Amino acid sequence: MKIKFTKMQSCGNDYVYIDCIAKDGFDFDGFTSNQIKDLVVRLSKQHYGIGSDGVIFICKSDVADAKMRMFNADGSEGRMCGNGIRCVAKYVHDNYAKKRQLNIETLSGLANILIDKDKITVNMGKAKIDASKTECLGYKVTCIDMGNPHCVVFQKDIDNIDLAVIGPKFENHAMFTPDRVNTEFAEIVDKDTLKMRVWERGSGETLACGTGACAVAVAGVLNGHYKKGENINVLLKGGNLIINYTDGCVLMTGDAQKVFEGVIEI
């Protein structure tokens, strides 16, 4: 079986994108959940597959311009992906709907997206704050759901954190069962800038995480480091994102790029 794919990235957060809309596109509904999981794991593997943070299927939608089904590298399905949805929007814009405003359906609901040349802004909806969780593994934490669950820790010198050790402990902590959690370590840079590292459930440390950047910015406001309604520049290993948090929504702005297209036989 041959599968057409497009490799895309945003801030270094790279996924394999598979078109399920085209006439000769991938038949997502024709496969079982276990078959989809096995396919995702195979395609995502470095050296043995295409290599990626996961696979995103671009499907038809009855309520939006397209529907996004996002899977982590371990085959688990996520409800939302901030960097991924910008790439989906770019793909749909370039191939199916050449308009500035798009709606993309996700498992977390509809996302409204504005495309302005090389910058794409996504309305990520309202931040859901879990005030019941304030401490984990001896760290002060701020837990926020941005379509995916996040646990944010503020501290200095995040570059020297052994994230490969501490990340899995957060991800699999009993506090976050059964869904697990994405964990961000964030460091204040100045009055409008912060930097972060992220451990994504099912993928490990990645160069960027859009929903994670949103969660970190919201946590920064909640902890008194920044102000609502002002742009916060979030520095990630793979690039920068601009986040603006208000009571009504969280706006995320960044780029999205096609890396290459190909066909893989499995």
- Residue 240's domain is classified under what CATH number? 3.10.310.10
The reported pLDDT for the residue numbered 179 is 93
Strands (E) across 118-191 are located at 119-123, 128-130, 135-136, 139-140, 142-145, 149-154, 182-190
Both tokens of 141, joined, read 């934490």
| Whether pLDDT at 117 is above 90 | no
Give the Cα separation of 236 and 259 in Å (integer): 19
- Same domain as 244, residue 132: yes
Q: Do 132 and 228 belong to one domain? A: yes
137 shares a domain with 62 = no
Residue 10 lies in a domain: yes
> Is residue 234 within 8 Å of 198, Cβ to Cβ?
no
Q: Tell whether 211 is covered by a domain.
A: yes
- Expressed as residue numbers, the domain containing 79 is 2-116+255-265
Is there a domain that residue 198 lies in?
yes
Phi-psi region of 44 (alpha: psi -120 to 50; beta: other; left: phi over 0): alpha
Q: Do 106 and 154 belong together in one domain? A: no
Whether 45 and 96 share a structural domain: yes
In a domain, 28, yes or no: yes
Residue 118 clears pLDDT 90, i.e. is over it: no
Q: How many domains does the chain have?
A: 2
159 and 55 within one domain: no
| 100 and 156 part of one domain | no
Confidence band of 28 (pLDDT split at 50, 70, 90): very high
Flag whether 35 is in a domain: yes
Q: Is residue 153 scored above 90 in pLDDT?
A: yes
Residues 105, 199 within the same domain: no
List the structure tokens of 237. 């290993």
Are both 57 and 145 inside the same structural domain? no
Largest CA-CA distance found in the chain, in angstroms, rounded: 54
As a whole number of angstroms, the distance between CA 257 and CA 54 comes to 16
Instruction: Check pLDDT > 90 for residue 32.
Output: yes
Distance (Å, whole) CA 100 – CA 93: 8
Verify that 145 and 97 share a domain, yes or no.
no
pLDDT for 168-215, tens place per residue? Answer: 999 999 999 999 999 999 999 999 999 999 999 999 999 999 999 999
Question: Is position 123 within any domain?
Answer: no
Q: Do residue 134 and residue 243 come from a single domain?
A: yes
Residue 122 belongs to a domain: no
Rounded average pLDDT over 93-121: 96
Active site residues: 81, 209
Q: What percent of the chain has pLDDT over 70?
A: 100
Regarding whether 206 and 143 lie in a shared domain, the answer is yes
Is residue 98 in some structural domain?
yes
What's the rounded Cα separation, in Å, for the pair 194 and 225? Answer: 10
* Coil, helix or strand at residue 150: strand
